Every structure is written in structure tokens, then in C-alpha cells.
Amino acid sequence: MAKCICQGNLSEEEIIAKDAKHVFQTYGRQPIVLTRGKGALVWDVNGKEYIDCVAGIAVNNVGHCHPRVVAAIQEQAARLIHTSNLYYTDIQPQLAEKLAELTGMDRIFFANSGTESIEAALKLARKATGNKGFISAEHCFHGRTMGALSITHKAKYRAPFEPLIPGADFVPYGDADAIRNALDSDTAAVIIEPVQGEGGVIIPPAGYLEEVRKICDKAGVLLVFDEVQTGMGRTGKWFGKDHSGVRPDIMCIAKGIAGGFPMGVMAATEEVAKNFSKGDHASTFGGNPLGAAAALATINAIEEERLVERSRDMGAYMRDEIKKRCRQDFIDHVRGLGMMIGVQLKKDGTPLVDKAREKGVLVNCTSETVLRLVPPFVITKGEIDRSVEVISELEL
């Protein structure tokens, strides 16, 4: 093996100082430097071990450095890393075929992130309908680039960058009538997360997605599911939509799709997809061989190790254990689907993130009052028990 170009001899302080000096300070980072991961565990530069209930923000579904993903990346990297989309590669159509089978969609466009998959969906929705407007939900999150930001609700994310693209409207999540009322003759698409992630692990009422589908069909408006976070087994089924019987017109997938390698996917039905013709959209890196190999290996791992079922079962186990063992008066309730778990607090939970980390468990706080637990599906019962024990001892 060639020597690693990253010399692993800088101290935690030196690394953090270098970041402070040279990297845009746009992230509220935790003060640890992670250097290694395996399964549901990560280690920092000082050798301290953590159980990772953040999983790269619902990305490392198959665990850190899954052996199949590592082997696929190593093998593909030695064969062909990148060619652009000016040429075919042997691997990209294979991945597209597999994704079409899993999603029930017909065609796949490859991008490199969640927000890019949303950008593609917005463009396709406008082209396919000839309309301009979008309806999305209050407290939704769809990404940070200008188009995705335009349909993202949070004022704090939007305000400094206005004017955004016009024609976006927000309605309360879970309220199908509100969508009916917001539709007008210029609406192109309704964009919905099957379970809201950043918004605080919000599960819509039963029948909501079905009702939204009916409303969109009646109005001739496209239905886009943002499955960037809920996809790839996270909710205990392959996709969040699979808890309903609904087939959207367009699906966006990213986060867990390639085992930690950056990839975004827009999938669409043939009827909608046919409206994109040559030159309508493109990406230099999209679906490149290295990413495609990582995604195929990730999907193989999920199928052969039955990780969707594991997400369902271990997620239910973790929620039950939290309900049983976490008795602090600041916890209101626990909710979730599969390995997408929200612990609703009665106060701001930000300080809990530091306290849990000090005790060796990484958790994330979203929407101020929700502890979001999205561990790798390969987390063991023992690791869940240990995480719940640490959470049960937290004080606010």
C-alpha cells in the first residue's frame, strides 16, 4: 500500500486550529476529530470510542466502512474512477436497473447530493407540466442550493439569500386539504417528505400520502417524494413511500444510497421522465463509476444482510427501550419508523448532545427540541442498550 498522504500526527488542537483558520466556518461542529469507523462505532484522534447514533446524518445505513463497500470502492478505484457522462460505463446502467426495481420508478438521473436531486426534480416538474409553482410543507427541509432552498421552509435558512425562485408556497404538514386549497392553475408539483427529517422526525397521519396523491392526480400536478433521508431502508421499509401504497411521479434519494460516498438520485416515471431531452440536465460527476460501485455494493449489503428488516426490528427495539428506561421529566415522548427515531423533549436539547458525546454516544438535536437518533442498521443490541443507558442518564 502507498503511504497515506494525510499524516496522522496532528493533535486534536492543531487540527481544529487549522480548520478555524482555513475552512469556511459554516458548520456548528462538535469539538472532536474522527479518524476511523467500523459498524456503528467511530473513534477520534485520541482513540476515544463513540457509538454513532448520527451515522453521518442518516447516511451510514450499512455501518461505517462496510467491507463490501470498501472492497467495491477499492476495486473500482483501481479500474476506473471517472469518465464523465459523455461515454457509457459498464456499471451505471446496472445501478439504474437496480434502483428502478427498488423504487418502482422507470428512469434514473444521477447527481451527487440530496439538494442536487431536488434541483433536478424541480426542473423536470416545470418542464413536464409547463407550470412554475411548487407546494411544500411547513418545517420541511429539501436542501441549501437556490432551488431546493426556495421550497425549504425555515426562514433562517432562506432570509439572507432572497429573492429565491418565485412560486413556492408552504402548507401545514399532514393536512391534505391545505394542499387542495393551495393549488392553482400554475402549480407544477407538490414536494413532500414521507417522514419529515430535519423538521423533527414527523410522521404524517395515516392516509395523508394517499390523499395527496389523489389531489395531485385530480389537479394534474406532479407529486414528488423527497426520500433523501427516508430512503434506503431508514424507516424499516426500502422507502418511506412503502408505508403507503403511493407511487409518486418523481422520487429524490441521496444520503444512505452509496454507503457514505456522495450520490444523489432523481427517479421518475416514464411519463414524466420523457419530458427531459438531451441537454435539459447534466452533471459531470453524476453516476460516475466509483459512486456507482459504492451504491451497488451498498444495495447488495442491504439485501444480503437483510438490513431493511434489521432497521425495522432494531428501530422498534430502540424506541421501546427508550420508552421503558428514559424517565427524565424533560422527555415528552418517543416516535419514529424503523431506524429514524425522534425523542421529543420539552426544552431545548442542544446541551444534551455535548453530554452524550462526553459519555461516548453521538446524537443529534434537530428543531431545537428533538433528539434525532438515526444509527447504522448494523448497530448491535448491546450498542443500543449502552446508548439508551447514556441517554437515560442525561440531565437538562
Ligand X SMILES: *Cc1c(COP(=O)(O)O)cnc(C)c1O
**119 near ligand X, rule: CB under 6 A:** no
Q: To 5 degrees, how large is the angle CA 93–CA 96–CA 98?
A: 115
CA distances from 8 to 23, 83, 151, 174 (A): 19, 31, 42, 49
The distance of closest approach from Cβ of residue 374 to ligand X in the complex, given in angstroms and rounded to an integer, is 10
80 φ, ψ (degrees, to nearest 5): -165, 120
Residue 367 near ligand X by CB under 6 A:
no
b/e for 170-192, b at 16 or more Cβ within 10 A? bbebbbbebbbebbeeebbbbbb
User: Minimal distance in Å, beta carbon 222 to ligand X?
Assistant: 17
- Residue 259 contacts ligand X per CB under 6 A: no
* Residue 61 binding ligand X, by CB under 6 A: no
Interface with ligand X, residue 142, by CB under 6 A? yes
The full DSSP string for 264-292 is: EEEEE-HHHHTT--TTSS--SSTT-HHHH
Tell me whether residue 320 is annotated as binding.
no
Kindly identify the residues of this chain, within the stretch 200-239, that bind ligand X according to CB under 6 A.
226, 228-229
The answer to whether 143 contacts ligand X (rule: CB under 6 A) is yes
CB of 312 to ligand X, least distance (A): 20
Query: Least separation, in Å, of the C-beta of 140 and ligand X?
Result: 8
Work out which of 76, 103, 115, 131 binds ligand X, going by CB under 6 A: 115
* Residue 229 is labelled as binding a ligand: yes
C-alpha cell recorded at residue 97: 436497473
Total residues binding ligand X (CB under 6 A): 15
Beta-ladder partners of 36: 43
Residues 6+ apart with CB under 8 A from 149: 142, 143, 157, 158, 161, 164
Find the binder of ligand X among 141, 238, 239, 276 (CB under 6 A): 141
Supply the minimum distance, in Å, between the C-beta of residue 176 and ligand X.
20
Q: Can you list the alpha helix ranges (DSSP code H) found in 197-275? A: 208-219, 270-273
Residue 8: how many other CB atoms lie within 10 Å: 8
Does 113 contact ligand X by CB under 6 A? yes
The reply, when asked if residue 283 is annotated as ligand binding, is yes
Known binding positions for pyridoxal 5'-phosphate: 114-115, 141, 226-229, 284
Q: Name the residues that contact ligand X, by CB under 6 A.
A: 113-115, 118, 141-143, 193, 197-198, 226, 228-229, 254-255
